[in-house]
């Protein structure tokens, strides 16, 4: 028993001397619980909504007032035409559009069944279905209010006619497969870079490289290029599998897609180099990379739409490169979005990639010295 007690004391002393353990055991899990507990939710909130009022009557105004007053919808305002509202869907500004047709109020007064046309961004099939449920429920509530108040002789009932854009069948594969391709690219390139560099430190070959005429910048570039090529090959396998196995073709420009992939790989390689500077062994590098990827994955919008998260968590997602890359993948894959609508994501990914690589390289050289 005394020997076991001594061994336990020795383990606790070892843990106390390793400061990184305290961060991994106490700080990181607490932060994960705090952020993830707020971010992960099945609720659909902040549905960005645009309304096209072609009727311009008291009834249509009441519909607009009701929808704009409910917190679950983020009412963006009225669009003058259906084309303008559809453009808001294309640009990703709106997730749903309600079109109140001409003669809506007159048809109700005649006891007919007027219809509300609802256009919904169907990329995220689950959110699209729930959004339609909210809209249908709201429309039924408004109609019931009219009937109880005796304002309008509604007999046929208001019909809600949905139309899903980009994913008419609400097939979840169309939403998840492009996101998975981005996630796998992040995991492989980041982990391979971190583990490879740490492995060379363990074997001592990195020090041997540093005493050669090879400059520090050349060493970093030489490390980055192979993993960039491997990342491109892995991505190519991913889009081939998506096409051949799941039947999901790329709707947009292939050169634009690969250009965005290169920008994203810059960020993942930068992260890999950074992780290699904080880890002394391959196991530590893998653990740190895995730990950070939980944050990266859950704050990317892959599982939970970012609009559903609390405001402070939404601000944190702006620091996550995977958030922008998944948006790019879904936009190019499902909508065929051109560069003029994705230049902001390109600038952000490029800026993040350059910053991460430069900062991580400087830290890498400092650690070697």
DSSP string covering 289-330, please? HHHHHHHHHHTTTSSS-GGGS-HHHHHHHTT-HHHHHHHHHH
Q: Are 348 and 324 in contact (CB under 8 A)?
A: yes
Span 321-359, pLDDT tens digits: 999 999 999 899 888 888 988 999 999 999 999 998 888
Span 165-200, pLDDT tens digits: 888 888 888 888 998 999 899 988 998 888 888 888
Does 159 map to a domain? Answer: no
Asked whether residue 193 falls in the same domain as residue 311, the answer is yes
Asked whether residue 55 falls in the same domain as residue 108, the answer is yes
Domain of 72, in residue numbers:
47-149
Asked whether residue 31 falls in the same domain as residue 53, the answer is no
pLDDT at 232 over 80: yes
Q: Please report the pLDDT score of residue 153 as a whole number.
A: 60
Asked whether residue 258 falls in the same domain as residue 350, the answer is yes
pLDDT at 67 over 80: yes
Span 306-331, pLDDT tens digits: 888 888 888 989 999 999 999 999 89
Q: What is the distance, to the nearest Å, from the Cα of residue 140 to the centroid of all Cα atoms in its chain? A: 33
Name the helix (H) or strand (E) containing 49.
strand 47-53
pLDDT at 21 over 70: no
Q: Any bridge partners for residue 159, and if so which?
A: 115
Q: What is the distance, to the nearest Å, from the Cα of residue 351 to the centroid of all Cα atoms in its chain? A: 18
Residue ranges of alpha helices (H) inside the chain are: 2-17, 19-22, 28-39, 58-69, 82-90, 104-109, 125-149, 172-203, 205-210, 216-244, 254-278, 282-298, 311-317, 321-330, 343-368
Asked whether residue 19 falls in the same domain as residue 114, the answer is no
Q: Please count the structural domains in the chain.
A: 2
Does 349 map to a domain? Answer: yes
Asked whether residue 322 falls in the same domain as residue 203, the answer is yes
Q: Are 245 and 326 in contact (CB under 8 A)?
A: no
CA angle 198, 200, 204 (to 5 degrees): 120
Asked whether residue 238 falls in the same domain as residue 112, the answer is no
Asked whether residue 239 falls in the same domain as residue 360, the answer is yes
| pTM attached to this predicted model | 0.79
Q: Read off the tokens for 137.
A: 């429920």
Asked whether residue 350 falls in the same domain as residue 213, the answer is yes
Asked whether residue 35 falls in the same domain as residue 112, the answer is no
């Amino acid at each position: 028993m005394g020997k076991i007690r001594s061994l336990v004391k020795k383990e606790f002393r070892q843990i106390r001397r390793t400061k990184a353990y305290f961060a991994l055991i106490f700080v990181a899990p607490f932060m994960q619980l705090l952020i993830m507990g707020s971010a992960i939710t099945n609720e659909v909130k902040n549905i960005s909504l645009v309304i096209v009022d072609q009727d311009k009557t008291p009834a249509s105004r009441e519909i607009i007032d009701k929808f704009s007053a409910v917190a679950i919808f983020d009412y963006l305002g009225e669009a003058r035409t259906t084309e303008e509202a559809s453009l808001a869907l294309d640009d990703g500004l709106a997730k749903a559009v309600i079109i109140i047709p001409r003669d809506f109020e007159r048809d109700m007064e005649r006891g007919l069944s007027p219809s509300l046309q609802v256009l919904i961004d169907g990329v995220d099939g689950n959110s699209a279905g729930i959004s339609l449920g909210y809209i249908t429920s709201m429309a039924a509530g408004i109609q019931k209010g009219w009937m109880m108040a005796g304002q309008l002789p509604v007999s046929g009932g208001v019909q809600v006619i949905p139309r899903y854009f980009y994913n008419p069948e609400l097939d979840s594969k169309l939403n998840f497969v492009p996101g998975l391709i981005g996630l796998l690219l992040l995991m492989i390139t980041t982990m391979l870079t971190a583990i490879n560099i740490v492995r060379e430190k363990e074997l001592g070959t990195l020090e041997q490289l540093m005493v050669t005429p090879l400059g520090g910048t050349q060493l970093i570039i030489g490390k980055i290029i192979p993993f960039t090529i491997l990342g491109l090959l892995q991505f190519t396998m991913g889009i081939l599998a998506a096409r051949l196995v799941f039947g999901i073709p790329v709707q947009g420009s292939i050169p634009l897609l690969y250009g965005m992939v290169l920008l994203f790989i810059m960020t993942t390689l930068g992260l890999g180099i950074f992780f290699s500077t904080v880890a002394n062994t391959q196991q530590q590098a893998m653990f740190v990379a895995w730990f950070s990827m939980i944050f990266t994955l859950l704050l990317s919008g892959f599982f939970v739409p970012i609009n559903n998260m609390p405001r402070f968590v939404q601000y944190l997602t702006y620091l996550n490169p995977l958030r922008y890359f998944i948006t790019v993948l879904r936009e190019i894959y499902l909508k065929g979005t051109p560069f003029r609508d994705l230049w902001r994501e390109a600038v952000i990914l490029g800026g993040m990639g350059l910053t991460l690589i430069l900062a991580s390289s400087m830290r890498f050289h400092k650690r070697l010295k």
